[in-house]
Amino acid sequence: MTEQKPPGVSWDSWIEQQICQAQEEGEFNNLAGAGKPLPGITDPYDPLWWQKQLMQREKISALPPALELLRKVERELLALRQARDEAEVRRRVEALNREIAKANSRAAEGPPTRLGLLDLESIVAEWRARSSPP
């Protein structure tokens, strides 16, 4: 495949030539989704469909930083229930506390953070109570 369009060749014919060459070489054979309907083809029209797909694919959040941090803390506290040992719980809570302190120490766009530092010892005690055999 040519890297650049040769001079004197129209864009249409150059692109068509590349497509034909790729077809002959089998570049379009066995593509994922071949023979299947396009995802979302029956969904109602949304002019922002591409932005929503990009945000989902790239895991981009549209939340203000304070709300994103609140969401992260909630997810992490739920995930701590599956922690393997106390050291992991302490390490993860300390990392959250560093993020909270950093967010609280600077001005942010959107609403201010309403998070205080997490009580490490009470979280560890709760984890111990959950993880100890009955």
Tens of pLDDT, residues 85-128: 999 999 999 999 999 998 888 876 777 778 899 999 999 999 88
Phi, psi of 118 (to 5 degrees): -80, 145
d(CA 56, CA 50) in angstroms, rounded, equals: 10
**Tens-digit pLDDT profile for residues 78-89:** 999 888 899 999
DSSP state of 9: S
Assign 5 to helix, strand or coil: coil
Instruction: For tokens 């369009």, name the residue.
Output: 5
Instruction: For tokens 């390490």, name the residue.
Output: 91
Instruction: For tokens 């694919």, name the residue.
Output: 57
Pair 49, 95: CB distance under 8 Å: no
